[in-house]
Amino acid sequence: MEFIPTGSKKLLRVAGMEVTVWRSESSGYVFCYNPRPMQVRPIAYDAPEYREELALRNRMLRIPLGLDLFDEDLEVERGQWHFGLFDGDVLVGCVVAAPSGDKGVQIRQMAIDSDSQRTGRGRTLLESVEQMLIDRGVRHVVLHARDEAVGFYQKLGYTVVGEGFVEVGILHHHMKKQLCRP
Ligand SMILES: CC(C)(COP(=O)(O)OP(=O)(O)OC[C@H]1O[C@@H](n2cnc3c(N)ncnc32)[C@H](O)[C@@H]1OP(=O)(O)O)[C@@H](O)C(=O)NCCC(=O)NCCS
């Protein structure tokens, strides 16, 4: 039987596990239990997972703009905090937090793999990372949001600050959020 992902692209989450809704042409909707837990965890700069993170970022954030992440000086990232969203062993999302002093970070390079977008994974990743940042003493977050991603960050409580500006050739907006314990 051939299964097709449902058009709503919504995954249900039950006790940390995903339940995927599929549509079968012959028998209507089917709920599939996905036993692989989604997990957000730090990625060490020297770990093999960092190479996977770079590949994901290049695929999602640079190649579509005609750029190559590997042309950039990545050495500065040694001092930044890297986080991945893993579906089992597969990296499906990532984000970097650059400490900026005075209990602040800049969130950068947020990306969810194209097959996984709009299924709640960006929210899962960023909300989990915010909690990890709080545990590290962070209280303020700033970021440069691509124009088309502003709505996503607004859903997570970020607000636009000031005028838009151009970065990597496209319109961006300064956004910020104050972190607090739930
Ligand atoms: C932007 C991105 C990180 C969002 O992750 P995602 O997994 O697709 O988003 P989610 O499914 O978790 O969405 C969370 C909420 O934000 C909304 N949302 C997601 N992307 C949005 C967008 N581009 N514009 C407006 N709202 C958006 C969703 O509808 C959802 O709302 P809900 O909670 O009311 O249902 C992801 O789409 C992505 O990697 N895009 C390409 C790279 C990129 O632009 N990165 C950001 C660079 S600043």
CATH number at 124 reads 3.40.630.30
Q: Hey, which of 118, 121, 147, 167 would you mutate to test ligand 1's pocket, going by the most ligand atoms within 8 Å of its Cβ? A: 118
Element (H, E) at 28: strand 28-43
Asked whether 82 lines ligand 1 (CB < 6 A), one says no
Could you tell me the pTM of the whole model?
0.87
Task: Output the DSSP codes for 61-96.
Answer: IIGGGT--GGGS--GGGGGSEEEEEEETTEEEEEEE
Structure tokens at 173: 């907006």
Asked whether 146 lines ligand 1 (CB < 6 A), one says yes
Asked whether 145 lines ligand 1 (CB < 6 A), one says yes
CA atoms of 76 and 174, how far apart (whole Å): 21
76: left (phi over 0), alpha (psi -120 to 50) or beta: alpha
- Residue 126 Cα to ligand 1 midpoint, Å, equals 10
Domain count of the chain? Answer: 1
Q: What is the pLDDT of residue 142?
A: 98
Element (H, E) at 165: strand 159-167
Structure tokens at 90: 């597969």
Please report the beta strands in 88-158, taking only residues with DSSP state E, as ranges in sequence order. 90-101, 104-112, 140-146
Q: Hey, which of 142, 152, 160 would you mutate to test ligand 1's pocket, going by the most ligand atoms within 8 Å of its Cβ? A: 152
Question: Coil, strand or helix: which one is 26?
Answer: coil
At a CB cut-off of 8 Å and minimum separation 6, what does 118 contact?
9
pLDDT above 80 for 22:
no
Q: Assess contact for 160 and 150: CB atoms under 8 A.
A: yes
Percent of the chain with pLDDT over 70: 80
pLDDT above 70 for 157:
yes
Mean pLDDT in the chain? 88
Domain carrying residue 50:
3-178
| Kind of pairing between the strands at 104-112 and 140-146 | parallel
pLDDT in tens, 65-120: 999 999 999 999 999 999 999 998 999 999 999 999 899 999 999 999 999 899 99
Q: What is the pLDDT of residue 37?
A: 74
pLDDT above 70 for 5:
no
Q: What is the pLDDT of residue 29?
A: 61
